[in-house]
Amino acid sequence: MGQWESWSAFWDMGGAAFYVWGSYGLTFALIALELVLVFQRRKDTVQRLLRWRRAVGKDSVKRNGEGYTPAMESEQ
């Protein structure tokens, strides 16, 4: 098995198992947390954009009935 004589020697990592496997565990946990936060932020952003689109749609009806967006207001 390469450098180690057995699986137990591999898991022991020459006495440094706590540090080696702890580092792997912490890294995995942080990557998992990052993925959760990314998906949560994406969901929040999509919901915010949908609320904004609904608000702009209502505002366009109030202003002139069609085609109004805040960007068009700054161009005039």
**Residue 29: what are its φ and ψ, rounded to 5°?**
-60, -40
pTM, whole model, 2 decimals? 0.59
Which of 40-44, 51-55, 66-70, 72-76 is predicted most confidently?
Answer: 40-44
N-terminal to C-terminal alpha carbon distance within the chain: 73
Nearest-CA neighbor of 56 among 44, 45, 67? 67
Average pLDDT, the chain: 81
Mean local confidence (pLDDT), 21-43: 97
C-alpha 73/C-alpha 75 separation (Å) is 5
pLDDT tens digits, one per residue of 44-66? 999 999 998 888 876 555 555 55
